[in-house]
A and B are shown apart, each in its own frame.
Chain A
Amino acid sequence: MRFHRQRAVGLLLLAGALTLGAQDTTARGVRIGLRYDPGSKPGVIVLPVSGSAGDSIRAILERDFDFSDRLSIVPLSPEDGSVLASAPPAGSSAVLNYALFAKIGAAGVVQVTITTRGLHVTLHDVAKADVATVREFSLPKPDYARDWRLAIHGVSDAVQEWIIGERGASQSRIAFIRSYVVRLVDSDGQEETALPVVGEALSPSWNSLGTMILYNTFGPESRVVLQDLRSGRTRDFGSLRNTQRITPVFTPDGKSVVYALSGEAGSDLFLLPLDGEAFPRRMTVGRGSRNWGPSFNPDGTRLAFGSDRSGHPEVYIMDADGTNADIFTAFDFGDQNDRTSPDWSPDGRQIAFMSRIDGRYQVFAMSLRDRQPRQLTSEGENEDPSWAPDGRHLVFVSTRTGTRQLWIVDTESGRLRQLTQVGGTRVPAWSPRLTGK
């Protein structure tokens, strides 16, 4: 984007003229431009942002809109002309050149001003040639820190909601394992950090608030560990001779942990309340089979899990009390079927999983209504899918580049992007929206 300094200065004056104060004037469910249509991607312009952090802020917003696969960024070039109208109505302050924006295909224009407390953000509706929404967002200091970036992702998500009526999922993180350490990375691939872990960790998972992570270790001292991200404290549920405790997840209400107890009599799911003296309650009666990898629906009334009770691994669904277990992946690929690692989408409508096909593992999604499997990957081996909070994107592990990396697929358009650059990534888990901080 080639934008000159004069225009930036002009914009600063404009911003001053248009500041409306600290009110949120958003109408609920404001939609910009084209009638809301799931297949369309309204064009959006993010005007250059003045200030030393302005370029970074603009870049984060543009990338978030692009990665949402719901908006398309309309580039500005000097040849397009001035963003300010050349002849504002008499007596009024400068206005944006809505005619230009309409001509180059933008439905909305995002205008950001850095303030002492954070950002002042204005969304312009091009078709209406007017301001649609104005809002103040506070940003933590210092600039460029992890929390600062996360807050800006929150701005992206809010603006997206103004434009298409649905909040974005940029303000989230993906937990994963590399070298048996739990690592967190922002949804745009930035700010990868490591959590201190107790032993060699696998299978991280999040609670609904995004404030705690569970994982398990393996081998003779295999145990489930709960890590509070705010306090840094861990809680250890102890190990048991001759057993592995694997694939721990929180119930959606956050009150209990469900994990698979894998021992000499098979693997079964157990539910352990986090408060009080209650003992773990058995959820599956595998009769010697393996049952593992639970994933709850959003309201916690049902869960999907892997089971080889039929003789080979398939995905099953049952009620949260352990009754009514039934096979979900009832389709046949011929040669011994092998489906595992289910993840229930945040809107409750689909389950993603991995399935062996033509000798390799691929990522699939299947809606609970039509039960038609949709293959989402084909290159290399692709495993362990996890839904983004938008219920549309999936992160998964792929070997397509030669090393295990995290990739993200848009399940609607099929668009792929590589999230990590350092190989050896395993078992990703996408957090919920991290707005609570």
Chain B
Amino acid sequence: MVFALASVAVIGACGGKTAGTAPAPANAATPARDSAAERQARDEAAQRESARVTADAAAARQRMIDDSIAGARAAEEAMRRDSDMLRAIVATTIGFEFNKADLRDEAKAALDAKIPVLLANTGVAVRIAGHADERGSTEYNLALGTQRAATAKRYLVERGVAEGRIETTSFGEERPVCTENNEGCWTRNRRDEFEITVGGPMLTKPRS
């Protein structure tokens, strides 16, 4: 009889699904007394536990993967935002007084902000275009636009930006951003515009 029961127990144990399951605890006092049903219940519990652990592990791994992707996306998003911000810094327009090409303090501050960005992104080339308001000679305004672009370029070059990376041109009074006949509009038109012509897709933040 004992022999028969033991055989059943063995068969029952071998029929279990998963490996690595903890063996059913043997009650040393009464191992021979466990019914087959009890042993089977224990096995099934063990299998469920095993499955749960496995599932937890899979879920955990998936979460790790998801977190990693999310993290990468967030980082990319942050880089894109940074890059957009850096592009905006490079593209910031600077303004001038009537018939003048001198850099005012606000202009110098805007140029100062561009410098670290340009130094951290040496593959980037920029075109500075000088503009004038509509008053005065059409032809002088072309020359004045050239001077306005040149002044800004010289400021950047003197502070370390390689000369060959910056192109200058002039549109005189020919590309107004507004056409009203008043000082507000004229002020907006007296400007340098900065356009990235090479290497712009992703700008790297300068190390501070």
The interface stretch among B38-46, B87-95, B131-139 is B131-139
Q: Does B155 contact A (CB under 8 A)?
A: no
Of A180, A202, A222, A263, the residue contacting B139 (CB under 8 A) is A202
**Given A340-B136, A361-B135, A384-B137, are A264 and B143 neighbors across the interface (CB < 8 Å)?**
no
Of B99, B127, B167, B170, the residue contacting A218 (CB under 8 A) is B170
- Mask, B44-78, CB within 8 Å of A = 1, is 00000000000000000000000000000000000
Let me know if B172 and A264 touch, CB within 8 A: no
A373 CA to B117 CA, complexed, in Å? 53
Interface residues on B, range: 20 to 34
A242 CA to B147 CA, complexed, in Å? 11
Instruction: List residues 189-212 of chain A with CB under 8 A from any CB of chain B.
Output: 200, 202-203
Let me know if B136 and A292 touch, CB within 8 A: no
Q: Does B142 contact A (CB under 8 A)?
A: yes
Let me know if B99 and A222 touch, CB within 8 A: no
Let me know if B137 and A220 touch, CB within 8 A: no
Q: Does A241 contact B (CB under 8 A)?
A: yes
Of A242, A290, A383, the residue contacting B143 (CB under 8 A) is A290
Interface of A is mostly: strand
Of B127, B137, B143, B154, the residue contacting A244 (CB under 8 A) is B143
Q: How many interface residues does A have (CB within 8 Å)?
A: 40
Note all chain B residues with C-beta closer than 8 A to A48. none
Q: Does B150 contact A (CB under 8 A)?
A: yes
Note all chain A residues with C-beta closer than 8 A to B145. 244
Let me know if B99 and A264 touch, CB within 8 A: no
Note all chain A residues with C-beta closer than 8 A to B168. 242, 263-264
Note all chain B residues with C-beta closer than 8 A to A384. 137-138
Let me know if A262 and B140 touch, CB within 8 A: no
Q: Does A219 contact B (CB under 8 A)?
A: yes
Let me know if A244 and B170 touch, CB within 8 A: yes
Note all chain A residues with C-beta closer than 8 A to B144. 290
Q: Does A182 contact B (CB under 8 A)?
A: no
Q: Does A156 contact B (CB under 8 A)?
A: no
A426 CA to B137 CA, complexed, in Å? 10
